[in-house]
């Protein structure tokens, strides 16, 4: 039978279930990836499982998010991560080595493998022909313990690419076009599989830009074939022996197909405050710009920054603009330095930041009040930059350079002739910033005073009752639930403290009210929990006593995180009932047996409405056990 590329890889890794859309499946995981923002908690969870060593082919721990060491807490966490990596057989990437997705693509990604990462942009590796999926840290810890990763089998949407990009149109514009068509929830429970004659015109870094930001459609993952272009990239990294040709069958059937003619793609830009608020750059030209940030896991490859260097060469950044550059890895920075292109960037007036995530998650470079910031990142949620009043736009490196030079949003085609970018046949590779585990580990895992034990949670009771603590609208993100930024993220290993920041910018009284009232309910709209994989956005509300979230629909990763920590995720059977529920209403429902169809009584209004608990039997068992950690710990104790 003719199959898609995704189906071929999933078939090879299927541990449980049937490969039919909507069915629960379990996947065997080859690689895992954590980063310091989510990894500290993930390794605390892994330690609690009692497994002596990771069971994957390869597990990696990166420090790339929270490298601002303004007190002892981040440094302590980095030391803890290095120790547990050595103890349990995990490769450790030291602070400053670069961004997890960029480094994994360069040094470890392999066609046909599976990757599970505690970061929502893990699908970056789909540019290398991997099934790469973002998940909560507890799911990644379970995979390190040898457990399958469970998910609903996605449908597979084909994205047919034809033609070739015109000068100054880029891979970033391709994914912005896809987002314009699909929206931030149009890819939910789908894999976006790219095929067609246009694929061969895109380099691996360009493909990775597209798969990285496919996350913003809500897609489970995105994937490109592994072809001669892939082989060329691997050869440049000294890894040609790891190449494997992989493609969909010629007559593969997709659930649906959209077609993008690359030749018709023009420079695009996402306006505040959503990645799918996409317009042509030419439609918003002339908007004054205060800040330009180039980097992030979306656009920080050697190809991206060679383009930036060529466009900046011999020019000066506008005096109105602060331009920052953060390369995705030390490898990128070293190659730019060796070629002399880094000098072109510096002489233009750019500020060179550390190799890491930085401004993308509000760690440094917060814009001034009411600033317009053009960023080559993947998200522009309100306040994510660290400044609540900032207007953040998402664009390609080419469009970002144009804004930096002219001091306003400008169509990059006005810069002049597009430079010819030539990537080296063999890049400079230097892996000394990795620490490869030695066996046996004879040291002691050191824990700073900010690293607190995990809270213990009991199984879901038979009856839930409480107040509606908060009612939200559509597309509430994990940044809304638990903000990023240096202040909050330094508390990621301290649940009691980080919980004080839940819904901080939505309702500053939420945490205190939740504790005072003994917990309660949250009511949400469509796509509740979109955005990052941070499981703290479920664990911290659970610590505050949140018993259930009732929403019109959930984002995939956040739904899984709610189940993992024992918060009951319910959906309105009739979405019109959402309008009749208000903050402060008293709700109660019987969840004995965790039946699919349940009735919620609204005591404040004397009415009732129906909700659905749309979970598999396995997920219900996790709730009954008190969450995934308790269930896995019990399993390994039996063995």
Encode pLDDT of 171-188 as tens digits: 999 999 999 999 999 999
For the cut 70, the answer to whether the pLDDT of residue 148 exceeds it is yes
340-363 confidence digits (pLDDT tens): 999 999 999 999 999 999 899 888
Active-site residue, from 73, 104, 379, 413? 379
**Is domain 268-414 in CATH 3.30.499.10, yes or no?**
yes
Phi, psi at 423, each rounded to 5°: -85, 145
**Region 599-621: what's the mean pLDDT?**
93
204-243 confidence digits (pLDDT tens): 999 999 999 999 999 999 999 999 999 999 999 999 999 9
**Does residue 396 carry a catalytic annotation?**
no
Q: What is the CATH number of domain 5-264?
A: 3.30.499.10
Active-site residue, from 532, 556, 558, 577? 532
CA distances for 516 relative to 490, 545, 583, angstroms: 25, 10, 16
**Does residue 83 carry a catalytic annotation?**
no
CA distance 208 to 100: 13
Cβ neighbors of 340 (< 8 A, separation 6 or more) are: none
| Residue 277 parent element (H or E) | none
**Does residue 64 carry a catalytic annotation?**
yes
**Region 41-69: what's the mean pLDDT?**
93
Q: In the chain, where does the domain assigned CATH 3.20.19.10 lie?
A: 463-638
Describe the crossing of helices 628-638 and 36-49 by its angle, rounded to 10 degrees: 40
Phi, psi at 464, each rounded to 5°: -115, 135
458-467 confidence digits (pLDDT tens): 888 999 999 9
pLDDT score, position 609: 96
pLDDT score, position 413: 96
Active-site residue, from 119, 139, 480, 585? 119
pLDDT score, position 492: 85
What sign has the CA pseudo-torsion 178, 184, 186, 192? positive
CA distance 416 to 317: 16
Q: Estimate to the nearest angstrom the gap between the alpha carbon of 551 and the chain centroid.
A: 22
CA distance 569 to 414: 50
Spatial contact of 139 and 123, defined as CB atoms under 8 Å apart: no
Active-site residue, from 65, 101, 375, 501? 65
Spatial contact of 153 and 239, defined as CB atoms under 8 Å apart: no
Q: Which of 100-114, 257-271, 610-624 has the lowest mean pLDDT?
A: 610-624
**Does residue 375 carry a catalytic annotation?**
no
**Does residue 65 carry a catalytic annotation?**
yes
CA distances for 632 relative to 230, 268, 534, 627, angstroms: 38, 46, 20, 9
What is the SS3 string spanning 412-444?
HHHCCCCCCCCCCCCCCCCCCCEECCCCCCCCC
**Is domain 463-638 in CATH 3.30.565.10, yes or no?**
no
CA distance 553 to 527: 5
Burial class (CB in 10 A: 0-12, 13-18, 19+), 262: buried
pLDDT score, position 639: 58
Active-site residue, from 534, 536, 556, 558? 534
Active-site residue, from 64, 344, 480, 585? 64
Q: In the chain, where does the domain assigned CATH 3.30.499.10 lie?
A: 5-264, 268-414
**Does residue 532 carry a catalytic annotation?**
yes
505: pLDDT confidence band, cut at 50, 70 and 90?
very high
Q: What value does the mean pLDDT of the chain take?
A: 94
Spatial contact of 72 and 45, defined as CB atoms under 8 Å apart: no
């Amino acid at each position: 039978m003719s199959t898609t590329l995704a189906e071929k890889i999933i078939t090879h890794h299927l541990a449980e279930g049937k490969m039919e859309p909507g069915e629960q499946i379990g996947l065997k995981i080859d690689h895992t990836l954590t980063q310091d923002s989510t990894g500290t908690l993930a390794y605390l969870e892994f330690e609690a499982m009692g497994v002596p060593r990771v069971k994957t082919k390869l597990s990696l721990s990166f420090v790339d998010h929270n490298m601002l060491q303004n007190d002892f807490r981040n440094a302590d966490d980095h030391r803890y991560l290095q120790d547990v990596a050595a103890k349990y057989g995990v490769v450790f990437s030291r602070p400053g080595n670069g961004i997890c997705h960029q480094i994994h693509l360069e040094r470890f990604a392999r066609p046909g493998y599976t990757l599970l990462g505690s970061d929502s942009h893990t699908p970056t590796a789909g540019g290398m022909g991997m099934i790469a999926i973002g998940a909560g840290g507890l799911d990644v810890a379970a995979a390190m313990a040898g457990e399958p990763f469970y998910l609903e089998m996605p449908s597979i949407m084909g994205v047919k690419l034809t033609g070739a990009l015109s000068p100054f149109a880029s891979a970033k514009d391709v994914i912005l076009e896809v987002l314009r068509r699909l929206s931030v929830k149009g890819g939910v429970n789908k894999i976006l599989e790219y095929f067609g004659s246009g694929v061969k015109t895109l380099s691996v870094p360009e493909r990775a830009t597209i798969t990285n930001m496919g996350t913003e459609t809500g897609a489970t993952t995105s994937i490109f074939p592994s072809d001669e272009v892939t082989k060329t990239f691997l050869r440049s990294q000294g890894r040609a022996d790891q190449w494997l040709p992989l493609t969909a069958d010629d007559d593969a059937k997709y659930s649906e197909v959209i077609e993008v003619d690359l030749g018709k793609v023009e420079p695009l830009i996402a306006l505040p405050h959503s990645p799918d608020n996409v317009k042509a750059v030419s439609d918003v030209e002339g908007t004054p710009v205060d800040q330009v940030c180039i980097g992030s896991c979306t656009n920080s490859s050697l190809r991206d920054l060679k383009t930036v260097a060529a466009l900046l060469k011999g020019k000066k950044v506008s005096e109105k603009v602060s331009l920052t550059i953060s390369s995705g890895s030390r490898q990128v920075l070293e190659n730019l330095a060796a070629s002399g292109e880094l000098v072109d960037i510096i002489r233009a007036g750019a500020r060179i930041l550390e190799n890491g995530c930085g401004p993308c998650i509000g760690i440094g470079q917060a814009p001034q009040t009411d600033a317009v910031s053009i960023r080559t990142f993947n998200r522009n949620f309100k306040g994510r930059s660290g400044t609540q009043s900032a207007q953040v736009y998402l664009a390609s490196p080419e469009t970002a350079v144009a804004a930096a030079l002219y001091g306003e949003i400008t169509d990059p085609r006005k810069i002049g002739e597009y430079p010819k970018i030539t990537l080296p046949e063999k890049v400079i590779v230097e892996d000394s910033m990795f620490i490869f585990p030695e066996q046996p580990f004879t040291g002691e895992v050191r824990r700073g005073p900010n690293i607190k034990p995990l809270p213990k949670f009991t199984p879901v009771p038979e009856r839930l009752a409480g107040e509606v603590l908060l009612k939200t609208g559509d597309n509430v993100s994990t940044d809304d639930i638990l903000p990023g930024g240096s202040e909050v993220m330094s508390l990621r290993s301290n649940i009691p403290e980080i919980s004080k920041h839940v819904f901080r910018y939505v309702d500053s009284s939420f945490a205190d009210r939740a504790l005072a009232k003994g917990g309660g309910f949250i009511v949400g709209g469509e796509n509740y929990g979109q955005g990052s994989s941070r499981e703290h956005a479920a664990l911290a509300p659970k610590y505050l006593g949140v018993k259930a979230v009732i929403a019109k629909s959930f984002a995939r990763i956040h739904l899984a995180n709610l189940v993992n920590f024992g918060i009951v995720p319910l959906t309105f059977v009739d979405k019109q009932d959402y309008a009749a529920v208000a903050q402060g209403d008293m709700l109660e429902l019987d969840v004995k047996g965790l039946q699919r169809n349940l009735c919620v009584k609204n005591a404040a209004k004397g009415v009732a409405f129906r909700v659905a608990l749309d979970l598999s039997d396995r997920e219900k068992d996790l709730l009954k056990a008190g969450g995934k950690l308790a269930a896995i710990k019990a399993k390994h104790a039996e063995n």
